[in-house]
Amino acid sequence: MRKYLLSTSALAGAALLSSAAIADVSISGEAEFDYSSRDHSTATLDGNIMTSVQEVHISFTNKTDSGLTISATNQFNTIGSASDDVSLSIEGGFGKVVLGPTDGVAGNYEMNPLGLLQEEDGGTLNSGGVNLTTTATISTSTGGGEANGSSKVSYHLPAMGGLTAGVSVSTQGSVAGTDDNTQFGVNYALTAGGAAVTLGYSNQTKEVASVADIDITSMGIKVVHGNISIAAADGSYTANDEDRSTQSAAISYNMGNGLVVGYGTVQSEDDLDVGEEYTANHWEAAYTVASGLTAVVNVSDFDYKVATATHENGATAINQDGTTTSLTIKAAF
């Protein structure tokens, strides 16, 4: 009798599996090892450092009878023992909906020329143990990341010719009612003179209790012609006692035989704190050693000047500069 019950259960299970949707499963990963030599005007930040990053990506995809594509994406940082991007997406003729703690649309549509490089280092701004990086803008990215792991609802319109656009909404993980986060982005792609041209605009607004909201925008252009890619962008950041304007540009050239060289530059200033400026230059060479294995050499220098002795967060602000030379070994699986 027991054998009969087991056999019956097995048959029932097989029947359920045969009638259920079977998803396509994709497993991939990436690993990076970085050795950096940092020449910094602040003694505690001057020296050499080694870091490692490793991630595992697992994706499930299923296509329904009605034509919907349903995907679940899971990315895990195995060194930091934490999830990175986790999302559920539903895609069809209406466009695409993405749900979960993953990047917002600002990260999908932003114009950040430094994206042409792989391992640029914007420098660490530090004074008296206080990290001042958040008080200076080091790129024209609108920061469409996970926003401290908060879940988002994102909607991407179906492509209309060369036009694509999307919007994201999140509450940054709490019910305070004053921490809503909204993002919007749009791209327009066209061909001109044999070159692929992309125009882009993105915006992110974060509500902040009792003070002015944080508003970040980026607009720019990217041109790809043969082995050359060029991008330029203009960005702004406004918040409580902050009104920053930033310009950036970059160029990348594929020299063939696996070698890609690039250069990027950034300049930013705060109009409310006359004299507070940030500039950076990045030089890079990336060489594909073999399929899935890349070595990247990057040299980045930055210079940060302040206007007043006391910063907005109460730290003593000082002029800082530095140069970082790094070798990164990257593997994709």
Residues 143-173 have pLDDT tens digits of 766 544 578 899 999 999 999 999 999 876 5
Here the tokens at position 288 are 């594909």
Least confident of 29-33, 76-80, 249-253: 76-80
Whether the CB-CB separation of 283 and 116 falls below 8 Å is answered with no
Here the tokens at position 239 are 């918040």
123 pLDDT more than 90: no
Give per-residue burial for 194-226: e unless 16+ CB within 10 Å, then b. eeebbbbbbbbbbbeeeeeebebbbbbebbeee
pLDDT category of residue 176 using cuts at 50, 70 and 90: low
For 122, other C-beta atoms within 10 Å of its C-beta total 19
Residues 71-95 have pLDDT tens digits of 999 998 888 777 778 999 999 999 9
User: pTM to 2 decimals?
Assistant: 0.84
Q: Dihedral of the CA atoms 41, 45, 46, 47 (nearest 10)?
A: -170
35 pLDDT more than 90: yes
Average pLDDT over residues 246-255: 97
130 pLDDT more than 80: no
> Apex CA 325: angle with CA 41 and CA 250, to 5°?
100
pLDDT category of residue 313 using cuts at 50, 70 and 90: low
Here the tokens at position 62 are 């299923």
Calculate the average pLDDT of the chain.
Answer: 86
- Tally of helices (H runs) and strands (E runs) in the chain: 2, 18
235 pLDDT more than 70: yes
Whether the CB-CB separation of 248 and 236 falls below 8 Å is answered with no
The residue among 197, 13, 234 whose CA lies nearest residue 112 is 234
The residue among 24, 205, 199 whose CA lies nearest residue 104 is 205
For 271, other C-beta atoms within 10 Å of its C-beta total 12
pLDDT at 11: 41
Here the tokens at position 254 are 């594929």
Question: Cα(first)–Cα(last) distance of the chain, in Å?
Answer: 49
Whether the CB-CB separation of 55 and 30 falls below 8 Å is answered with yes
Is the C-alpha dihedral spanning 91, 94, 96, 100 positive or negative?
A: negative
Rg (CA), the chain: 23
Phi, psi dihedrals of residue 106, rounded to the nearest 5°:
-60, -35
For 299-313, the three-class secondary structure string (H helix, E strand, C coil) is EEEEEEECCCCECCC
Helix (H, G, I), strand (E, B) or coil at 282: strand
For 2, the enclosing helix (H) or strand (E) is helix 2-19
pLDDT at 81: 72
Residues 183-219 have pLDDT tens digits of 999 999 999 989 999 999 999 998 887 788 899 999 9
Question: Could you give all domains of the chain from N- to C-terminal order, each with its CATH number?
Answer: 24-332 (2.40.160.10)
Q: What does DSSP say about strands 152-156 and 195-206: parallel, antiparallel, or unpaired?
A: unpaired
pLDDT at 112: 92
CA distance linking residue 276 with residue 237, whole number of Å: 14
Q: Is 193 exposed, middle or buried (0-12, 13-18, 19+ CB in 10 A)?
A: exposed
